[in-house]
A and B are shown apart, each in its own frame.
Chain A
């Protein structure tokens, strides 16, 4: 068992950190305040393969391993979580299901534009009556000749306002008492694909999270992901990978808040000394560092299992459950260390604090993660 990062993983971290600090660092607070999506930075990210992290080279991706993937998301989120979110959702639940379940024709058609970032991906499961209960989806797909007609509303769609390709979960109409679900690959130009208003959220404000409406949206049967593969199976598999991304994102937010707090505690003077010389602050820093480290080990284990093609669902859930909690706790302590300034928008830690909370909610709430973990414990043979 080797706990040291290899030279490649160190270089991935260095490469992404250099980019994130130079290109996202100066704008992260502004785009948060203005809730604006930084297309000019996205433009720079495209040729560097941020949108094809794990997509095979044959389709234009970087074909990275999962630890490299996690490091990439961690480092983007350490500086700007909203863009970390855009990239992880695009890669893990936008592109990966096509890579995993798509027919060869679907891969050839959809992966290259996703890999080069010409099209941003989105994943649309949540509805007003479906979220943690993925079976409650009401969006319908009515067969009509070789096509399907989609009707329904998806809410809280990450990248919703900027996506070019969205994966839509819908139930086949009149497919019986237990409706058959499918995933449809829908391009934004498709008539009847309507982007709703951008949500006014607490954090991740630079990511245009929106509703998507489907009004008699005609989609060819060629766009049914994987042909007859049940949507729920695709969804659950995608979410396992998605959880790795969100855990990495949560970890990056925690690391960002921690780094800012260490810096601040050395600079801020009280009673004639830097506050880092006080035991209370030292205890906070020790606690934060320990939690981050523990989260990182959980996360990289899940990644390693995925790369070894072993089951990693419970481990990914543990990493997501723990890292998201760490993000909330560490950013909270970060604000505490900064005192009044930490509550001000002048300091990054305020943004980290707001961004952290949602990592406990999306791509499976913490409660759902516990369900996944406990299910894996209780179904194990003893």
Chain B
């Protein structure tokens, strides 16, 4: 039976949240949480595999204690087990220390996995980094933004859209894919599933001692990046009036804007001089 791991993140349900200026992180406690949409698509892809071929699905998440909600939701939808990585030293992690922590937990709890599925990016920070960093940490092959895939034997064949092209890739398992939101529309959890997710679900909560990792390697201490500032971009419109004879106007227009016009029409205008 296939052994699948889906990485799931809880994200705030609203788009605009107060920012903690001291730590440069979101004040998540002020919002209701939800399962990150792309993670939900990844979970759906795993559930389809389970329906077709039979599979054991472990949903794993790192986050505050309330992230347990999304693991229970994953179980309600059909995952078999949930693992929550939650510990004070894990707080404030960037993508590097998140993927480090996830990797150590997967090595410990699901060492014989066949495939890890994660969302292609999260709605709250949109870095799309955790998937690729995780496969580096685990030293396994992977592909990102996978639209559709199928598994035959020990091989996974994937479709992904790159610019305007459809790319078909194959790789050996074990591996990792990040799933796009183009296919695999998530199912609704059944009400019986919700009951089971609370009455008989297997949810494990692990801290740094359980994983045997040093506090310096995780959370804000293990992070290589710091968010210095976050603000909503402001845009303004300015009219630029060019006067003169038609020839002068055209020359001045091109002198000022040839880069922008060129990029808009996809040609380098300097080639035409």
Query: Contact residues of A with B, CB < 8 Å?
Result: 7-8, 10-12, 14-16, 18-19, 44, 47-50, 52-53, 57, 61-64, 68, 72
Contact = CB atoms under 8 A, between A and B. Distances in A.
B68 A15 contact: no
Interface of B: 34, 68-69, 72-73, 76, 188-192, 194-195, 197-198
Given A62-B195, A64-B195, A7 B72 contact: yes
B73 A19 contact: no
B198 A7 contact: yes
Nearest to A23: B188
A10 B197 CA distance: 13
B68 A7 contact: yes
A15 B34 CA distance: 11
Contact residues of B: prevailing secondary structure: helix
A87 to B, nearest CB: 11
B194 A12 contact: yes
Contacts of A53: 191
A15 B69 contact: no
Contacts of A68: 191, 194-195
B69 A62 contact: no
Nearest to A12: B194
Instruction: Identify the 10 closest CB pairs spanning chains A and B, nearest first.
Output: A62-B192, A49-B191, A8-B198, A62-B191, A49-B192, A48-B190, A15-B189, A49-B190, A19-B188, A62-B195
Given A8-B198, A11-B197, A48 B188 contact: yes
A52 B188 CA distance: 16
7 contacts: A7-B68, A11-B69, A11-B198, A16-B191, A62-B190, A62-B191, A62-B192
Contacts of B72: 7-8, 11
Nearest to B195: A62
A111 to B, nearest CB: 14
Contacts of A72: 191
Given A16-B191, A57-B192, A64-B191, 20 more contacts: A8-B72, A8-B194, A11-B69, A11-B197, A12-B191, A14-B34, A15-B76, A15-B188, A15-B189, A15-B191, A44-B188, A47-B190, A48-B188, A48-B190, A49-B192, A50-B191, A53-B191, A61-B192, A62-B191, A72-B191
Nearest to B34: A14
A7 B199 CA distance: 12
Nearest to B66: A7
Contacts of A12: 191, 194
